[in-house]
């Protein structure tokens, strides 16, 4: 009889090893209403609240919860201490007998949106993306608006339609008007698109009227997720002047089920890019050890076929700058606030994070194994994955975000 | 000894008589943590949960709550039945002995934000306002963008900074850049403005992927409030291209403490205005008895001096059309969603709902008793009030929304 292998004995280099430990919320088929905080280890989910209880941990209260809210709001010291405890639970042999029965194979559980999204803001922080979009949508003007290199541009999105990875997305209907049309027409979007983004999850809130400085980024932001900001380009193009995107975006935004703590991404920190203009002091990060860029490698697939590999390292604005910008007017933060980076696009054509850019607004269709694509067709499944450099040559896997397009209702 | 008068014996024509009965949330100085649902009658607040309990009402569960969420989500039949019960409690002499001890003078209680704001959307539904803003901000282009008369334009705002009437507003800081400036400068806004709006409060949510037709407006929207969408025009002008307003708005939005149920405004319903272009079917309201305009008369005062009287009857788009627009792409509604009409401006100069318009971006200062005003100064208090025609020649008062500007932090 072969030796029984433990779910804790991971293959070398597993991107969800003990150096990662992202958080999520799961339920099991036996108790579908009982949502529990889970931590991913390999292809298993550890019932974190049950483990804390079994091991007599002081964090049982924080982890035996139906979502991540209590943990998110607990603050940086608690985040560090809980992570240390979890690392011990999944690595110290003496804990195995307690921990192993609390591991669920990931394909046997249901993963849920891990926290209530408070406010959702979407930024526009990739210079390549903003330049491409400017060239496509405003061909007779400068691609970047005059403000673009002075502040991270952003806008509020709809938090009530943020859904967890795996949720079907209904093709939205709305008004569109081609330049040649005499009047707008109504119908299902014919330019349904994706946007490959990274989402940042706020743990600790702030007081209204008090800006949060860039240097406090790690005191407020708990971690990150992958985010697909589904976009109906035809609806968006007709509606967005003068007040910005609305229905072209608000039908659905998908996030990965796993929130990767910033602490797992220490090895992925890189210098921010050189900036072309002097920054105002509240955005200046040249001397800030706490700020900086992140080396995340994203991959976007349609029906299993990789169509783009956007590098987050190319972003012009950092997540800490976005946080400073979002609050510099005194806007408060709340636990569960989510902000997206905006579409991540690298300089190369194969690094563009939207079909708008990949097909140049439909001019250059993609050749997929199942046919040509300009924009998404009903039945298409989009899956984004990502990894970041971890300690000692490892990789830190981010949870995937996937969604399938179903026909307009 | 003079006869004891009852708080229920209101002066004839009191705008907060039994024909009105708006809902709010209050606490008393003795129990500041004990938030309770209140109903305004004259200058008193009835402890609605306590009244329901004292009178053995089946609505005690719905009303003995710390906010309006349970009532909002209960739906139209419950809204009607609770309102009938409340009307009886404050009008039937046999109930006086039970009800009178549960009335608190309004100036002895603290009023709170009456529900958790889920998503906040701001529309732009006044033709006069949009035309004025277009002329001021884009003098070399058509004042109204080509889409304006085909759909109610809107965008998402920050729900976490919606505050109840009476909350101080800290002057926001941010980037601004005058055309003559070589680079943006940072500092407290020098063009801090108001926007007089009406806010609509969603009671019953909807399913993602399913548009809510215009005819279902009264099944979803519970009532309305007054709303001041504070705006920093200098921050807004620099940031808003291409993704719309963000920090110029997100520092604070004030709402009245009282939510007036739509049922109290039956006598204020009027025909919507004539439209200049054919409407797409999902916005067509010509034959809809359930849709239509509302005759609300707003008054805006700075430090007690009335500066504008915007008429809501002049709005091009109705609240039902805004709801249909907001959901036509399948975006779901949640209990507590709030959407603003956008600045209400009439055709006359004295009917404009923002200082941007009233002073034509500072060109024509207002002459107030305490000095000239282009935009708001520190220490200014802005108060908006409104009334609507009620039954039998009465007036239905809307709760005021007031706020004072305090210096930048």
SS3 (DSSP) at B314:
helix
Q: What is the mean pLDDT of residues B29-41?
A: 98
Cβ distance of B159 and A119 shorter than 8 Å: yes
What is the radius of gyration, based on Cα positions, of chain A?
21
Span B111-133, pLDDT tens digits: 999 999 999 999 999 999 999 99
Distance between CA atoms of A330 and A349, rounded to whole angstroms?
39
Query: Is A287 a residue whose pLDDT tops 80?
Result: no
Å from A271 to nearest chain B CA? Answer: 25
Residue A302 neighbours by CB distance under 10 Å: 22
Q: What is the mean pLDDT of residues A328-336?
A: 98
Q: What is the DSSP letter of B214?
A: G
Enumerate residues 368 to 387 of chain A having a beta carbon within 8 A of any beta carbon in chain B: none
Query: Is B210 a residue whose pLDDT tops 70?
Result: yes
Distance between CA atoms of B7 and B12, rounded to whole angstroms?
13
To the nearest 10°, the Cα dihedral for A259, A260, A261, A262?
-130
Task: Output the pLDDT for position B29.
Answer: 97
Confidence of residue B290 (pLDDT cuts 50, 70, 90): low
Closest residue by Cα to residue B331 from B156, B138, B175, B76: B156
Fold of A120-406: Fumarylacetoacetate hydrolase; domain 2 (3.90.850)
Quick one: closest CA in B to A334, which residue? B160
> Two tokens at A233?
């380009």
With beta carbons less than 8 A apart as the criterion, state whether A153 and B239 touch.
yes
| Cα B175–Cα B251–Cα A72 angle in degrees, nearest 5 | 110
- The DSSP bridge partners found for residue A385 are A299
Closest residue by Cα to residue A189 from A375, A29, A45, A333: A375
Query: Is A2 a residue whose pLDDT tops 60?
Result: no
- Given B184, B186, B243, which is nearest A244 (Cβ)? B243
Chain B environment of A158 (Cβ under 8 Å): 119, 156, 331
- Please give the CATH architecture assigned to the domain spanning A23-112: Roll (2.30)
- The DSSP bridge partners found for residue A255 are A164, A227
Cβ distance of A409 and B210 shorter than 8 Å: yes
Confidence of residue A273 (pLDDT cuts 50, 70, 90): confident
Chain B contact for A173 (CB, 8 A cutoff): yes
With beta carbons less than 8 A apart as the criterion, state whether B214 and B323 touch.
yes
Buried b (16+ CB within 10 A) or exposed e, B362-375: eeeebeeeeeebbb
Distance between CA atoms of A79 and B338, rounded to whole angstroms?
34
- Given A119, A137, A161, which is nearest B158 (Cβ)? A119
Span A298-322, pLDDT tens digits: 999 999 999 999 999 999 999 999 9
Contacts of B145 (CB under 8 A, 6+ apart): A241, A242, B134, B153
- The DSSP bridge partners found for residue B123 are B154
- Optimal mutation site among B191, B208, B209, B329, interface A, most CBs of chain A within 10 A: B329
Q: Which residues of B are catalytic?
A: 129
Q: How far is C-alpha B262 from the geometric centre of its chain's CA atoms?
A: 13
Place of tokens 């691609």: A143
Cβ distance of A183 and B158 shorter than 8 Å: no
Q: What is the mean pLDDT of residues B373-378?
A: 98
Give burial (CB, 10 Å; 0-12/13-18/19+) of B4.
exposed
Chain B environment of A246 (Cβ under 8 Å): 121, 153-156
Chain B environment of A277 (Cβ under 8 Å): 183
- Given B145, B155, B183, which is nearest A246 (Cβ)? B155
Distance between CA atoms of B234 and B191, rounded to whole angstroms?
6
Task: Output the pLDDT for position B289.
Answer: 65
With beta carbons less than 8 A apart as the criterion, state whether B169 and B252 touch.
yes
Task: Output the pLDDT for position B151.
Answer: 98
Query: Is A99 a residue whose pLDDT tops 50?
Result: yes
Chain B environment of A160 (Cβ under 8 Å): 118-119, 331-334, 337
Distance between CA atoms of B113 and B350, rounded to whole angstroms?
30
Query: Is A136 a residue whose pLDDT tops 60?
Result: yes
Number of CB pairs < 8 Å for A and B?
A: 200
- Given B186, B209, B244, which is nearest A170 (Cβ)? B209
- Given A235, A246, A337, which is nearest B154 (Cβ)? A246
Q: What is the mean pLDDT of residues B263-283?
A: 94
Task: Output the pLDDT for position B291.
Answer: 60
With beta carbons less than 8 A apart as the criterion, state whether A344 and A310 touch.
yes
> Two tokens at B41?
């009658």
Task: Output the pLDDT for position A1.
Answer: 45
Q: What is the mean pLDDT of residues A108-118?
A: 98
HEC per residue, A349-365:
HHHCCCHHHHCCCCCCC
Q: What is the DSSP letter of A335?
A: T
Closest residue by Cα to residue B112 from B24, B29, B47: B24
Q: What is the DSSP letter of B73?
A: H
> Two tokens at A19?
């150096």
Chain A environment of B175 (Cβ under 8 Å): 147, 150-151, 280
Chain B environment of A281 (Cβ under 8 Å): 186
Query: Is B1 a residue whose pLDDT tops 70?
Result: no
Q: Which residue has the higher pLDDT, A269 or B137?
A: A269
SS3 (DSSP) at A28:
strand
Confidence of residue B272 (pLDDT cuts 50, 70, 90): confident
Distance between CA atoms of A50 and A36, rounded to whole angstroms?
9
Mean pLDDT for chain A overall: 96
Q: What is the mean pLDDT of residues B175-187?
A: 94
- Going by their DSSP bridges, the two strands A162-164 and A154-157 should be labelled as unpaired
- The DSSP bridge partners found for residue B269 are B294
Domain boundaries, chain B: 23-112, 120-406
Task: Output the pLDDT for position B273.
Answer: 87
Confidence of residue A292 (pLDDT cuts 50, 70, 90): confident
Cβ distance of A280 and B184 shorter than 8 Å: yes
Enumerate residues 293 to 352 of chain B having a beta carbon within 8 A of any beta carbon in chain A: 325-326, 328-334, 337
- The DSSP bridge partners found for residue B301 are B306, B383
Active-site residue A129, yes or no?
yes
Q: Specify the DSSP element, H or E, that contains A73.
A: helix A69-74
- Optimal mutation site among B177, B230, B328, B330, interface A, most CBs of chain A within 10 A: B330
With beta carbons less than 8 A apart as the criterion, state whether B125 and B149 touch.
no
Residues of chain A above pLDDT 90, percent: 95
Distance between CA atoms of A338 and A319, rounded to whole angstroms?
11
Cβ distance of A186 and B282 shorter than 8 Å: yes
Catalytic residue among A44, A104, A129, A220: A129
Cβ distance of A160 and B211 shorter than 8 Å: no
Confidence of residue B3 (pLDDT cuts 50, 70, 90): low
Query: Is A4 a residue whose pLDDT tops 70?
Result: no
> Two tokens at B3?
């006869």
Contacts of A150 (CB under 8 A, 6+ apart): A277, A279, A280, B175, B177, B183, B184
Quick one: closest CA in A to B209, which residue? A170
Q: What is the mean pLDDT of residues B368-381?
A: 97
Cβ distance of B150 and A184 shorter than 8 Å: yes
Chain A contact for B229 (CB, 8 A cutoff): no
Confidence of residue B102 (pLDDT cuts 50, 70, 90): very high
Cβ distance of B161 and A208 shorter than 8 Å: yes
The interface predicted TM-score (ipTM) is 0.97
Cβ distance of B160 and A119 shorter than 8 Å: yes
Give, in order, the Cα–Cα distances in Å from A258 to each of A225, B193, B405: 6, 42, 42
For B389, phi then psi, to 5°, come to -60, 130
Residue A261 neighbours by CB distance under 10 Å: 22
Enumerate residues 183 to 212 of chain B having a beta carbon within 8 A of any beta carbon in chain A: 183-184, 186, 208-211
What is the radius of gyration, based on Cα positions, of chain B?
21
- Given B134, B326, B330, which is nearest A170 (Cβ)? B330
Buried b (16+ CB within 10 A) or exposed e, B320-357: bbbbbbbbbbbbbbbbbbbbbbbbbbbeeeebbbbbbb
Query: Is A150 a residue whose pLDDT tops 90?
Result: yes
Chain A environment of B150 (Cβ under 8 Å): 175, 177, 183-184
Count, residues in chain A: 409
Contacts of A70 (CB under 8 A, 6+ apart): A61, A62
Mean pLDDT for chain B overall: 96
- Given A160, A183, A333, which is nearest B119 (Cβ)? A160
Å from B113 to nearest chain A CA? Answer: 15
């Amino acid at each position: 009889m072969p030796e029984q292998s433990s779910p804790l004995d991971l293959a070398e280099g597993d991107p969800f090893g003990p150096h990662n430990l992202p958080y999520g919320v799961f339920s099991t088929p036996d108790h579908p209403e009982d949502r529990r905080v889970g931590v991913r280890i390999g292809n298993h989910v550890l019932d974190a609240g049950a483990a804390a209880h079994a091991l007599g941990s002081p964090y049982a209260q924080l982890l035996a919860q139906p979502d991540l809210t209590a943990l998110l709001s607990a603050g940086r010291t608690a985040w560090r201490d809980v992570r240390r405890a979890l690392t011990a639970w999944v690595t110290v042999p003496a804990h195995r007998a307690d921990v192993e029965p609390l591991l669920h194979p990931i394909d046997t559980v249901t993963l849920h949106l891990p926290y209530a999204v408070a406010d959702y803001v979407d930024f526009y922080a990739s210079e390549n993306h903003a330049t491409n979009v400017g060239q496509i949508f405003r061909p007779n003007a400068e691609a970047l608006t005059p403000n673009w290199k002075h502040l991270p541009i952003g806008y509020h999105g709809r938090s009530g339609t943020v859904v967890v990875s795996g949720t079907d997305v209904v093709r939205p209907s709305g008004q569109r008007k081609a330049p040649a049309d005499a009047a707008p027409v109504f119908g299902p979007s014919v330019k349904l698109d994706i946007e490959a983004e990274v989402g940042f999850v706020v743990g600790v809130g702030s007081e209204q009227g008090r800006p949060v400085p860039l240097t406090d980024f790690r005191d407020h932001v708990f971690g990150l997720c992958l985010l697909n900001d589904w976009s109906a380009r035809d609806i968006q193009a007709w509606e967005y002047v003068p007040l910005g995107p609305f229905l072209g975006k608000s039908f659905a935004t998908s996030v990965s089920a796993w929130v990767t703590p910033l602490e797992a991404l220490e090895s992925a920190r890189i210098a921010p890019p050189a900036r072309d203009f002097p920054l105002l002091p509240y955005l200046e990060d040249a001397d800030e050890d706490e700020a900086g860029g992140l080396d995340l490698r994203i991959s976007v697939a349609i029906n299993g076929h990789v169509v783009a590999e956007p590098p987050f390292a190319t972003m012009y604005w950092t997540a800490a700058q976005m946080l400073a910008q979002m609050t510099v007017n005194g806007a408060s933060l709340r636990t569960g606030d989510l902000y997206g980076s905006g579409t991540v696009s690298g300089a190369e054509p194969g690094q563009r994070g939207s079909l708008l850019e990949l097909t140049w607004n439909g001019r250059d269709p993609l050749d997929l194994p199942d046919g040509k694509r300009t924009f998404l067709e009903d039945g298409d499944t989009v899956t984004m994955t990502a990894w970041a450099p971890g300690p000692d040559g490892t990789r830190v896997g981010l949870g995937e975000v996937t969604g399938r397009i179903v026909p307009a209702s």
